[in-house]
Amino acid sequence: MGEPESYRSGASGLSKGAAGSGGRAMVVRSSSLETAAPVVGQVTDVDKDTFWPLVKGAGSKIVVLDMYTQWCGPCKVMAPKFQELSEKHLDVVFLKLDCNQENKPLAKELGIRAVPTFKILKDSKVIKEVTGAKLDDLVAAIETVKSS
């Protein structure tokens, strides 16, 4: 029941992106992407073109990136939990990247080897990584980075 909730803002874009039509660029939040000001309190869809501008726009805020695929079962289990974390940690920017063919260059640049993978960035640098559907490890990593 929570699964559609986590994908509601990009459901049509995700399926278009998976089909390769490039529909992912039509995320509703285009106005905030133009100013490269990431929004807190929610999960924002990113792609190879919007990721780095949003990370840079986050400034000194911590950024947590969920790298997933459409076909990944554990990714689907983590999606609503990731959404809940975004609503709890209002001082952290939460992004998600569909590691489809279109975004493969960025996924490769970030060194993804398995999905889901969560990258935690500070000052535009990856400082922690959690691989797998390990919510407790992800929460611990976020807390560690926030307290450092």
What pTM value is reported for the model? Answer: 0.77
Provide the angle, in degrees to the nearest 10, between the axes of the packed helices 135-147 and 73-88: 40
Task: Give residue 31's pLDDT.
Answer: 43
The count of domains in the chain is: 1
Of the pLDDT bands very low, low, confident and very high (cuts 50, 70, 90), residue 128 is: very high
Task: Give residue 63's pLDDT.
Answer: 98
Question: Is there a catalytic annotation at residue 75?
Answer: yes
Question: Is there a catalytic annotation at residue 72?
Answer: yes
The C-alpha angle 147, 130, 51, rounded to 5 degrees, equals 85
110: its two tokens:
């970030």
- For 33-66, the pLDDT digits (tens) are 444 678 899 999 999 999 999 999 999 999 999 9
Q: How far apart are the first and last CA of the chain?
A: 36
Q: Which domain holds residue 17?
A: 2-147
Do residues 24 and 76 lie in contact, with contact meaning Cβ atoms separated by under 8 Å? no
> Does the pLDDT of residue 28 top 80, yes or no?
no
Q: For residue 140, give the CATH number of its domain.
A: 3.40.30.10
Amino acid residing at 94: F
Catalytic residue among 14, 27, 75, 79: 75
Catalytic residue among 25, 37, 39, 72: 72
Query: Is 105 or 16 the better-scoring residue by pLDDT?
Result: 105
